Chains A and B, each alone.
Chain A
Amino acid sequence: MKLRTNLLVGGGLVGLAIVVAILAPWIQITDPVLDANLMNAEIPPGADFPFGTDQQGRDIYSRIVHGARISLTVGLVSQIANTIIGVTLGLTAGYWGGLWDDLVSGVTNLMLAIPSLIFALAIMAILGPGLVSLLIALGLTNWSYSCRIARAQVLSLKSQGYVQAARILGYGDLRIMFTQLLPNMLGPLIVIATLGMGGSILAEAALSFLGLGIRPPYPSWGSMLSEARDQITTAPWLSVFPGLAIFLTVLGLNLLGDGLRDILDPQSQERRA
């Protein structure tokens, strides 16, 4: 089987991020929170500190390694929640239509009209900062895209011969949804979900930047960027490395999404032999 480059590169980047997140306590150089030492403040990248240190003398590399745990958890969990909510609503709305469709479409449009970050901010303000409230806030506010995609896909797939054939062959509604509709719309849904995962990581960064996400001194890529903004001219490595981590992870997720979509299509040549 020939592996596609985007699948290989994307999978490699995402896999690397996952491995780093899992192994964080073992591959850290110093403790990311406790080992502050003002004598080492703002040392540029070098032999002792490969990514340099921040203004409190903490090792950037160790903080990024630990930040991977937060960022990946937030991206994965919130996007799984978004996808489940969005696909369930979109699939049933498109399939059954009628009043339920009007209701779901109305709420979806409402969600799209309000910027999801504002929505998440409101939820965070009620729940207070922290990882759990971050997951809830981001997991409940970004489902409108997958919902619209799922609904649109169902509307076009419903008129396909095989979906009508399934009904004529006595399939029940749920069986049609799971065997005929869902597999045939996985492609665009996966792309949206991986894009959304990148979006969630960025939203976590934004919320942490605004002080509502992960509380200092615990590291997340977003909060590190936020703390680094004052030193961007004097100590650029403070922003470059967390930014690079976000960039590579989001890039990897997007490539992985493209690659998965390709191999999920049985008509693509790369899938077989």
Chain B
Amino acid sequence: MSDVPLLAVDGLRIDIGSGAQRHAAVEGVSFSIARGETFGLVGESGCGKSITALSIMGLLRQPLSLGGGTIVLDGQPIHKASAAEMRSLRGRRIGMIFQEPMTALNPLSPVGRQIAEMFVLHMGMGWKEANDRAVESLRQVRVPSPERRIHDYPHQLSGGMRQRVMIAIALACSPDMLIADEPTTALDVTVQAEIVDLMRELCAAKGTAILMISHDLGLVAQVCRRVAVMYAGRIVEQRASAEVFKDPRHPYTRGLLASLPRLGARSKQGRQRLNEISGVVPAVSAFPKGCRFNPRCTARTDVCMVEDPATTALDGGVGLVRCHNA
């Protein structure tokens, strides 16, 4: 593993709207991912996780636009790459898995062909060779009797099988990085575990780094070595995942952890309500003055209402938190 990170995002700002209606939906987001590392991006809906991923893929569309900051993949500044350069990166060097395996496959094309297309498109193979490789890819994601399954259409497969096919497509060209945007949300719990294990195992074998986007802290803890917690377009806490779960420093992270349902908690402590963080994420156009979390924070002080907190280094410089009281 070299010292130069595979992916370095620095001071990322994503604007929504234009002119007087322009607001920063994501601001000052910086993180880096080493080769083969697993990194989690956590936060509730609307905090900017998915658009951060889209900006890495170079796929921000109106009304979203890159407002500033740099994104460097393997020494190459991809935030200013041309459309053609980005196209050759996508799929070949960065793979992506989505939340909805039901809709992410072309319903009119057999799944084997959709996998083979990646080999034809990015590696210049002929269709015959690509089809053989597609069978091999399906075998790798543990789809039973892949020789027959490659002729199946997406609607003939179960949700778990479809997500396996998506993984096969995303990892077909052995990319340097896999972005997994809520990869298990649409699946059964038992299938979730299988899919996560499979993803981790294949990425480890191929040396592929994972950027996992999720609101599921349990999943992130299981998969990721480091975690960044996002709130209202900013990273509020970024540390090794073991540290986050042992000693969360930001009140938002503490709130997230406290709201995880625990099996058996009720029987030990009598009748207990599931904890929640009151309120909702503020709208992009109406971020509060001072700390953006202050309307929902249980530990706020006077300074939180007027002054935006800077980041404080933690864990000997490898972690950071953005809170006045951490």
Q: A residues engaging B (CB < 8 A)? A: 160-162, 164-172, 175, 179-180, 183-184, 264, 266-267
B92-113 at interface with A (beta carbon < 8 Å): 92, 95-96, 98, 100, 102-109
Q: Which of B91, B103, B153 contacts A170 (CB 8 A)?
A: B91
**Distance (Å) between the CB of B47 and the closest chain A CB?**
21
Residues of B with C-beta under 8 A to A179: 106, 109, 117
Asked whether B108 lies within 8 Å of A184 as measured between CB atoms, the reply is yes
Is B89 engaged at the interface, CB distance under 8 Å to the other chain?
yes
Q: B residues engaging A (CB < 8 A)? A: 57, 59, 87-92, 95-96, 98, 100, 102-109, 117-118, 121-122, 153, 155, 166, 169-170
Asked whether B90 lies within 8 Å of A161 as measured between CB atoms, the reply is no
Main DSSP-derived SS at the A contact region: helix
Asked whether A162 lies within 8 Å of B103 as measured between CB atoms, the reply is yes
The CA-CA distance from A160 to B104 in the complex, in Å, is: 8
Asked whether B153 lies within 8 Å of A167 as measured between CB atoms, the reply is no
Asked whether B98 lies within 8 Å of A165 as measured between CB atoms, the reply is yes
Q: Which of B92, B118, B155 contacts A266 (CB 8 A)?
A: B155
Asked whether B109 lies within 8 Å of A183 as measured between CB atoms, the reply is yes
Asked whether B89 lies within 8 Å of A170 as measured between CB atoms, the reply is yes
Q: Which of B90, B102, B103, B107 contacts A169 (CB 8 A)?
A: B90
Residues of A with C-beta under 8 A to B89: 170
What is the chain B residue whose CB lies nearest that of A160? Answer: B103
The CA-CA distance from A177 to B98 in the complex, in Å, is: 21
**Distance (Å) between the CB of B85 and the closest chain A CB?**
11
Residues of A with C-beta under 8 A to B107: 162, 184, 266-267
What is the chain B residue whose CB lies nearest that of A184? Answer: B108
Asked whether B104 lies within 8 Å of A171 as measured between CB atoms, the reply is no
What is the chain B residue whose CB lies nearest that of A267? Answer: B155
Asked whether B88 lies within 8 Å of A183 as measured between CB atoms, the reply is no
Residues of B with C-beta under 8 A to A160: 103
**Distance (Å) between the CB of A272 and the closest chain B CB?**
9
Asked whether A266 lies within 8 Å of B96 as measured between CB atoms, the reply is no
**Distance (Å) between the CB of B113 and the closest chain A CB?**
9
